[in-house]
Chain A
Amino acid sequence: MKESPSFDHRPDPELGAALRAALEPGTDDAAFVRRVMAQYDNALDRSSVATLDVLASWFRPGMVAAAAALVLGFLFGRTILPAAGGTESIDAAMAPIEGPGLAALVTAQDPPDPSVVFTSLVEPY
């Protein structure tokens, strides 16, 4: 082991061995491996529980958001669309060929009879 005047491309075995001995951990590697693997097992357990927890925690806000979107959509349809599209009657909306069809159905002021709507869907003209 002698002082090199320039950069040496090869490892210094003597210095390397001395440093290795100085940095050697106090406990054996087997104990460390067991410790890491225990953490590995814990992490797997936590991740499977966490997935369910995340899904559960999002269920209630998700339902609220869906309900809010439904109400907003309903309000939007009640307030914005009639102003833009006029106020055709439900009879006009139900007319199969003549008349404004679906747009009229959506913008009608009087709500349609569900049986009429259902019949119009299942019975082709």
Chain B
Amino acid sequence: MGGEGGDDTALVTQTLSGDRDAFGVLVERYAGQARRVARAVLGDPDDADDAAQDGFLSALVKLGQYDARRPFGPWLMRIVANAATDRRRRRSVRRVEPLDAALVGGGPRPDAAAIRNELGDHLRAALAELPERRRTAVVLFDVEGYSHAEIAGILGIPEGTVRSEVFHARRRLRTLLADWKEPMQ
């Protein structure tokens, strides 16, 4: 998890006073996390980067509303996840075809690097099959290390629902991962 506690708060204060570099450090610190969370929602990496960027700029506009007593990471991730969801809604209005048709592996792979990426393709395809909230929850928990309570705050749902979403997502993804590993062994 990217949260650095009081250090984040100091950077927020400096950003609010017009310190460009302080905002740059915050972006640098949370860039990877924001891009992964956005990609969990959107699938497509370019769309995800656009959404992550929207999230950072939206956070900049709302920075005055940030409560410094709370960790910065979950606050930012909520904005990023909302930006990604908004973009996904707009995209689904624009086009009707399935979300991740282009991302699912399928077909012959010409080189070794592509074969190594095949597990990633399968995982992305499996993630795409999960409901948006479920895949975002499991990424926030297992990849980014947020607690159930923090994820509840990010997604705006009860903590018990987060536990349930993570549980169901894991069951699906673990099965896929186990199936993938068996032929290797």
Contacts and interface: CB of A to CB of B under 8 A. Distances in A.
A45 B66 CA distance: 24
Interface stretch (B69-77, B81-89, B119-127): B119-127
10 contacts: A7-B166, A12-B170, A16-B143, A21-B119, A23-B36, A23-B39, A36-B57, A37-B23, A37-B27, A40-B60
Interface string A5-17: 0011101101110
Given A7-B163, A22-B127, A35-B53, A16 B28 contact: no
Interface residues of B, number: 43
Given A1-B174, A22-B119, A33-B31, A40 B23 contact: yes
A31 to B, nearest CB: 9
A61 interface: no
Interface of A: 1, 3-4, 7-9, 11-12, 14-16, 18-27, 29-30, 32-33, 35-37, 39-41, 43
A14 B170 CA distance: 11
Nearest to A6: B167
A5 to B, nearest CB: 10
Interface of B: 20, 23-24, 27-28, 31-32, 35-36, 39-40, 45, 48-49, 52-53, 56-57, 60, 119-121, 123-124, 127, 138-139, 141-143, 145, 148, 163-164, 166-167, 170-171, 173-175, 177-178
A25 B35 contact: yes
Contacts of B40: 23
A48 B170 CA distance: 48
B52 A32 contact: yes
Nearest to A26: B45
A19 B28 contact: no
Given A11-B142, A22-B119, A24-B36, 19 more contacts: A7-B167, A8-B170, A11-B145, A12-B142, A15-B142, A18-B119, A19-B127, A21-B120, A25-B35, A25-B39, A25-B45, A27-B49, A32-B35, A33-B24, A36-B53, A37-B23, A39-B57, A40-B20, A43-B57
